Amino acid sequence: MTTIKEKEVKPLTRNKLLGIAGLGWMFDAMDVGILSFVIAALAIEWNLSPGQMGWIGSVNSFGMAIGALVFGLLADRVGRKRVFIITLVLFSVASGLSAFSTTLAIFLIFRFFVGMGLGGELPVASTLVAESVEAKERGRIVVLLESFWAAGWLIAALISYFIIPDYGWRVALIITALPAFYAIYLRLKLPDSPQFTAKKVRNRTYGQNIKALWSKAYAKPTLMLWILWFTVVFSYYGMFLWLPSVMVFKGFDLITSFKYVLIMTFAQLPGYFTAAWLIEKAGRKFVLVTYLLGTAASAFAFGNAETTMSLIIFGAFLSFFNLGAWGALYAYTPEQYPSVIRATGAGMAASIGRIGGILGPLLVGTLVMRGYDIGLIFSIFCVAIVIGVLAVVILGVETKQKELE
């Protein structure tokens, strides 16, 4: 069994890895966060129906599903670092070009490629970081990596509030795409995963790696992860890509909606930091179950909130618990597999999850068009999250401080 020892990963290297990987994570979050605000703006500028609004989020998730599958498989063959760079280049270029779209169809094409880059990068990034730190702090470091997502969302909310009303959504997209090229420059200097470098596994076929996920040793964690990822991503993209639009549906104007969502987004940071503290003390399963149940309760309360104050409060709790759960999810996933199939396993789980990300926004758009109440729609996401919790409780195994194979 190959393990990562303290002498192999110095604190400076570890912190540098976290910073460089986190920057790319932050720019990815900026784009996803901006998209939720852009959808609300496009609905007004292009006179989009709720169904068309739902397709924007779903096409993005469809690209993420393909990207997670393809680049996850590739990372176990050519290395985590190469795929890390390729996915960020794809994401950055497509995101910048999407700002020049003149029709919904063109915009959807670019969003597909943005999704491919984003979907491929996230599981590979968490795998690289997980393989590069020692067991006693691996969970905390990966959750801190995921906390950069909250920073990206906050920046996206600020850009949306101050830029989109006066300068338009195109300028906002360009602003979010350009800084990502700096992250590409930084990544060129990153070392690859020490476990990938040590294990000469590049002669394995893609088919062998996929088949191994469903071998007797890994079928149970694979089933658990696929259920968990599907339910979490289904609910996240169904709820968060629609948050600004839901505020508009509830009677607020566009600028006021952006302001309230910005306030809710601030709650993501303490969600990550508390999860990072708890994950090495109480364990992965405890954090996942607790924060997902908190998400389910908050989703139900937010969907049925009637006053402005209750919307803001329950929206903040939704951000707090959901993003804390995401941090634990990214820490937990790579720990289920040995290095030979780790990126494949993480990528395929994320890919299955992105199918949920396709269906979630479409479901909201379809049900809104048919006149269903927002409270009922958010109750559906509440039930989905509880199913994910049951998968962790019944099928999951605690991996706190477990040495990676």
Residue range 107-118, pLDDT digits in tens? 999 999 999 998
Highest mean pLDDT: which range of 115-129, 159-173, 281-295, 335-349: 281-295
- Answer yes or no: is pLDDT of 55 > 50: yes
Cβ atoms within 10 Å of 24's Cβ, excluding its own: 28
Higher pLDDT, 124 or 97: 97
Q: Is 10 left (phi over 0), alpha (psi -120 to 50) or beta?
A: beta
Averaged over 212-234, what is the pLDDT? 95
- Answer yes or no: is pLDDT of 202 > 60: no
% of the chain at pLDDT higher than 70: 91
- Answer yes or no: is pLDDT of 96 > 50: yes
User: Is residue 371 classed as helix, strand or coil in its secondary structure?
Assistant: coil
- pLDDT at res. 194: 64
Higher pLDDT, 94 or 124: 94
- Answer yes or no: is pLDDT of 9 > 50: no
- Answer yes or no: is pLDDT of 1 > 50: no
**Domains in the chain, ordered, with CATH?**
8-189+205-395 (1.20.1250.20)
Q: Is 106 left (phi over 0), alpha (psi -120 to 50) or beta?
A: alpha
Query: 290-344 pLDDT, tens per residue?
Result: 999 999 999 999 888 888 888 889 989 999 999 899 989 988 998 999 888 888 8
Output the CA torsion sign for 347, 270, 184, 92: positive
- pLDDT at res. 327: 87
- pLDDT at res. 105: 93
- pLDDT at res. 298: 94
Residue in 242, 267, 228, 232 with CA at minimum distance from that of residue 381? 232
Give yes or no for a contact between 135 and 4, defined as CB atoms under 8 angstroms apart. yes
- pLDDT at res. 125: 79
- pLDDT at res. 195: 62
Highest mean pLDDT: which range of 6-15, 122-131, 144-153, 225-234: 225-234
Residues 158 and 266: their CA atoms lie apart, in Å, by: 11
